[in-house]
Amino acid sequence: MFRFRKKELSTEELTLAQECRQEAEGLYRSGKYHCAEAVLEVVRRHFTPELPGSLVQSVSGFGGGSGSGCICGAISGGTVALGLALKGDKKAIAHLTRELHAWFKVKYGVTCCKTIRQTHKGACPILTGEVAGKIAEMLEKH
């Protein structure tokens, strides 16, 4: 069975996660990026800077729950970011994606964008930052 090492995050790693949180929230608040784009851009900058910034456009359709209100765009963008950062390690991608979804459900109750926007009004910039920070923490542990 595939297992991940659990380790404590160093001060430096916590700083990176906090930096990612702040950057993603700032990008969202700027109005130039929505949730999925902000998460992917921040993870790209810090973990896969060799990839072109134009890649962020690939998740443009995920904002607002992919237009239908379903899955949160920050989670969708984060899932794409994990796939890019882990470069085809399907077991790790699947494991960390499940971990991301479980963490988000504990924090917000659901992954449905429409429900989150009704029950946590105004939370999108903050949760965008939190998702980017969580992904940074997970990638640093991995």
Helices and strands counted in the chain (H then E): 7, 0
- Sorted by where each begins, the domain ranges of the chain are 11-141
- 67 or 126, which is more confident? 126
Q: Rounded mean pLDDT of the chain?
A: 89
pLDDT of residue 1: 30
Threshold 0.85, pTM exceeds: yes
- Residues 81-91 have pLDDT tens digits of 999 999 989 99
- Residues 28-80 have pLDDT tens digits of 999 999 999 999 999 999 999 999 999 999 999 888 778 777 899 999 999 99
Which phi and psi (to 5°) does residue 71 adopt?
-60, 140
